[in-house]
Amino acid sequence: MSLLEIVTYPDKRLRKVSKPVENIDGSLQNLIADMTETMHHAPGVGLAAIQVGIDKALIVYDLTPLEEKGSIQVLINPRIVEGEGEFLSENEGCLSVPDFRADVKRFARVLVEGVDAEGNPRRFEAEGYPALVLQHEIDHINGKLFIDHISALKRELYKRQVRKKLKKA
């Protein structure tokens, strides 16, 4: 296993819609292991392959507290089938959008479909925090960032902050 570099905003790869995974093979299993190690090291609770520069519709997430690192979930070619209700994700952040957090409106409940790491079809409901994590990571697969869900003013303030930081570098 090895740590992968996390792609950060404004990298254009984060805006790409990820390609579906066609084969679940050893190289994909290695990618899953590397993504999991990278996510825990960051530390984060979820990571999409595009966040490490890999154009595949793949997410890993772990909803256990960050200190525990124990319940890795893998979804290949995930999609939200339906969502309902409203949930305010307070202080949402992202490994690819460093140094910025915001309140984001999300669905309270989602129905998700995908395939697990062994190729078995999965279809399940998630509510509250698990629903938030799934929406956030599936957004990455669809070329969206959590800052796309906030006001234009807040988004523009963050973009200015990033441009200023890049000029100094």
Give the tens place of pLDDT for each residue, 115-124.
Answer: 999 999 999 9
Considering the chain, what is the average pLDDT of its residues?
Answer: 94
Separation between Cα atoms, residue 61 and residue 148, nearest integer Å: 21
pLDDT in tens, 63-114: 886 666 678 999 999 999 999 999 999 999 999 999 999 999 999 999 999 9
Identify the CA nearest to 101 among candidates 51, 45, 147: 147
Q: What is the 3-state secondary structure (H, E, C) of 41-61?
A: HCCCCEEEHHHHCCCCCEEEE
* Superfamily of segment(s) 12-168: Peptide deformylase (3.90.45.10)
Task: Sketch the domain layout of the chain as residue ranges.
Answer: 12-168
* Catalytic residue selected from 82, 84, 125, 137: 137
Percent of the chain with pLDDT over 70: 96
Catalytic status, residue 137: yes
Q: Model's pTM, two decimal places?
A: 0.94
The kind and range of the H/E element at 94 are strand 87-94
pLDDT at 1: 76
